Amino acid sequence: MLSYNVQLALRTPPPYCERRNVGDPMGKERARLMSNHDGSYMLRDVLTLLDEAGVWAAMPRTVQQDLVIRIVKLACDRHDCNAGEILDGHEAFGLCYDCRKPAESLRHGLCRTCWPDDEDDDEDDEAPDDH
């Protein structure tokens, strides 16, 4: 049997996971801590396996989105995973990795509200000037 402290630690998320400072989109408040990259990549692969098995095709889109949002929230809030890493390659769900809300129009995984104002959507597509 596990000690009381170990049981409590397993039930309680680390304190830094509870504080998601909305005014700090780059996560500088948590910058000193490492993200659980392995957990994020594993969940991304699980989403891919579920897609390949046809699980998502059997669900209405809103149910898909709700389930994925709940998975991402659990992973990020309880296990310090990274939403961008989990949702990378899964833009078809139509979920913003920053605000974790449904959005049909995404740019690099971000909705229009979360996309930085100083970034231009066509920056990569512009041809250099011929002077």
The yes-or-no verdict on residue 43 having pLDDT over 70 is yes
Domain boundaries, the chain: 35-114
pTM attached to this predicted model: 0.64
Q: 30 CB contacts (<8 Å, ≥6 apart)? A: 16, 19
Rounded-to-integer distance, Cα 91 and Cα 30, Å: 26
Angle, vertex CA 40, rays to CA 35 and CA 45, nearest 5: 165
pLDDT digits (tens, 9 = 90+) for 120-131: 555 444 444 444
Residue type, 37: H
Distance of CA 27 to the CA centre of its chain: 13
pLDDT digits (tens, 9 = 90+) for 51-64: 999 999 999 999 99
Rounded-to-integer distance, Cα 131 and Cα 124, Å: 19
The encoded tokens of residue 96 equal 């913003």
pLDDT digits (tens, 9 = 90+) for 65-91: 999 999 999 999 999 999 999 999 999
Residue 14 has a pLDDT of 42
